[in-house]
């Protein structure tokens, strides 16, 4: 009788499946509260441990994406503006500033503006050649400099308006496609392929006396829309391919935001509300690894002296990604001054996760910590010795996605 042969990938998948089933059996007999070890609602008898957990969760919520905010002023206010003015000329910038002040000279609520000095200041324009110059390049810094303004008011009619201002700077980014000659050449070739190869039938030659009738306008609009869709499709494909190939590129970003409390919206009755600064760095590690570093400092002056506090959140994360193995290890922490009694001034937490491709469209993962629980969402999950095991039909930890 012939023996059936299993491929190594299928054999590994079956073995891991059996391990997961064996791990699930004793857990099924336990109480439901003991199986959900990572549940946010789990009670902690030790008050000090509970306070430390609050600080850790605060740090985890701050370090959500290891990136400085796109609009520091909005991050300082803790709001997401429904409409953001992005002027492209000096005239539009002045009009945008004027729209943030009402007829009584007070700051308007919900005002948000973001601009690049290289676009609105005459003579600050940056050409592609200047942008791509190697080494310490002031023009590159100027082209990626963003300033932002915003105004919001807390709940309550007597609450002061907070006017926030911020700046965001890209010091360097090795994954910038506009500094990659190969990408620009491929982009130019893809756009050229969308250009008509021959004169469009039905369109008169240049210099012809034929007027622009409705049929001709429709014909031109159809060819224009077709060329735009073609260029959009090619550009998206190139961008996705470039992002997957450069997911672990080195970079360094910094940002700052400050705020002023305006009593009754008046600029004459202002008081400094605080400051906040961000810095994030990515370091390439070979072809499949990346180290991320994050720092976030907050100085909040509050409404009175007892409310003043300083907080420093930090994070370090190592990502590894390939066609068959993905994983991460992470350390989060936060140090605070001016905390209430009973709340620790410092706390740290760590998490880690690893997933292996056992066969085509079959991934097996294991990990520890709250961040792994939120990141990975496999179809089958079991918890054994505080380690979450799962099986999924797709990769959840790939940093290139």
pLDDT digits (tens, 9 = 90+) for 27-41: 333 333 333 333 333
What pLDDT does residue 8 have? 45
Edge-to-edge strand ranges of the sheet holding 380-384: 112-115, 146-153, 161-173, 251-262, 270-285, 289-300, 309-321, 325-337, 346-359, 362-368, 387-392, 380-384
- Give the number of other Cβ atoms within 10 Å of residue 31's Cβ: 7
Q: Residue 310's beta-bridge partner residues? A: 299, 337
- CA separation for the pair 391, 395 (Å, rounded): 10
pLDDT digits (tens, 9 = 90+) for 201-220: 555 555 555 555 677 777 77
pLDDT digits (tens, 9 = 90+) for 42-60: 333 344 456 566 666 777 7
266 lies in some domain: no
332 lies in some domain: yes
380 lies in some domain: yes
344 lies in some domain: yes
Instruction: State which residues form the domain around 25.
Output: 7-66+308-401
pLDDT digits (tens, 9 = 90+) for 270-299: 888 899 999 999 999 988 899 999 999 999
Predicted confidence (pLDDT) at residue 19 exceeds the cutoff of 70: no
pLDDT digits (tens, 9 = 90+) for 316-325: 999 998 888 8
What pLDDT does residue 258 have? 95
Which long-range contacts link 170-173 to residues 24+ away (Cβ below 8 Å)? Answer: 170/140, 170/141, 170/144, 170/251, 170/252, 170/253, 171/141, 171/252, 171/253, 171/254, 172/140, 172/250, 172/251, 172/252, 173/144, 173/249, 173/251, 173/252, 173/253
What's the structural domain count of the chain?
1
**Whole-model pTM?**
0.73
107 lies in some domain: no
- Give the number of other Cβ atoms within 10 Å of residue 209's Cβ: 5
What pLDDT does residue 156 have? 54
- Band of pLDDT at residue 22, cut at 50, 70 and 90: very low
- Band of pLDDT at residue 65, cut at 50, 70 and 90: confident
The answer to whether the CB of 310 falls within 8 A of the CB of 299 is: yes
92 lies in some domain: no
Tokens encoding 342? 């009973």
229 lies in some domain: no
- Give the number of other Cβ atoms within 10 Å of residue 81's Cβ: 19
Tokens encoding 206? 């240049």
29 lies in some domain: yes
């Amino acid at each position: 009788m012939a023996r059936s042969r299993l491929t190594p990938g299928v054999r590994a998948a079956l073995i891991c499946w059996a391990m997961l089933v064996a791990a699930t059996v004793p857990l099924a007999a336990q109480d439901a509260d003991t199986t959900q070890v990572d549940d946010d609602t789990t009670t902690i008898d030790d008050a000090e441990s509970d306070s430390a957990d609050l600080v850790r969760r605060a740090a985890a919520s701050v370090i959500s994406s290891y990136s400085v905010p796109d609009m520091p002023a909005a991050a300082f206010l803790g709001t997401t503006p429904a409409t953001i003015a992005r002027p492209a000329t000096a005239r539009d910038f002045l009009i945008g500033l004027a729209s943030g002040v009402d007829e009584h000279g007070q700051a308007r609520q919900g005002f948000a503006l973001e601009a690049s000095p290289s676009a609105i200041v005459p003579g600050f324009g940056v050409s592609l050649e200047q942008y791509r110059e190697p080494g310490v390049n002031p023009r590159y810094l100027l082209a990626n400099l963003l300033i932002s303004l915003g105004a919001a008011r807390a709940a309550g009619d007597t609450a002061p308006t907070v006017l926030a201002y911020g700046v965001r700077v890209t010091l360097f980014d090795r994954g910038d496609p506009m500094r990659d000659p190969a990408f620009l050449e491929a982009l130019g070739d893809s756009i050229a392929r969308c250009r008509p190869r021959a004169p469009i039938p039905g369109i008169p030659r240049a210099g012809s006396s034929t007027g622009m009738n409705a049929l001709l306008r429709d014909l031109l609009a159809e060819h224009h829309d077709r060329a735009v869709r073609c260029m959009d499709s090619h550009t998206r494909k190139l961008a996705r391919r470039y992002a997957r190939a450069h997911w672990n590129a080195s970079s360094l970003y910094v940002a700052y935001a400050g705020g002023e409390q305006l009593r009754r919206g008046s600029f004459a009755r202002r008081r400094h509300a605080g400051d906040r600064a961000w810095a994030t760095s990515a370091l390439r590690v070979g072809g499949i690894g990346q180290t991320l570093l994050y720092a976030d400092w907050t100085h909040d002056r509050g409404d009175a002296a007892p409310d003043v506090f300083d907080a420093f959140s930090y994070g370090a994360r190592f990502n590894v990604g390939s066609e068959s193995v993905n994983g991460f290890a992470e350390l989060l922490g936060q140090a605070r001054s001016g905390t209430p009694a009973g709340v620790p001034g410092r706390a740290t937490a760590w998490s880690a996760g690893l997933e292996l491709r056992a066969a085509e469209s079959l991934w097996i993962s294991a990990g520890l910590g709250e961040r792994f629980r939120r990141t990975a969402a496999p179809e089958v999950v079991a918890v054994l010795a505080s380690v979450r095991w799962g099986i999924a039909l797709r990769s959840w930890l790939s940093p290139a996605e």
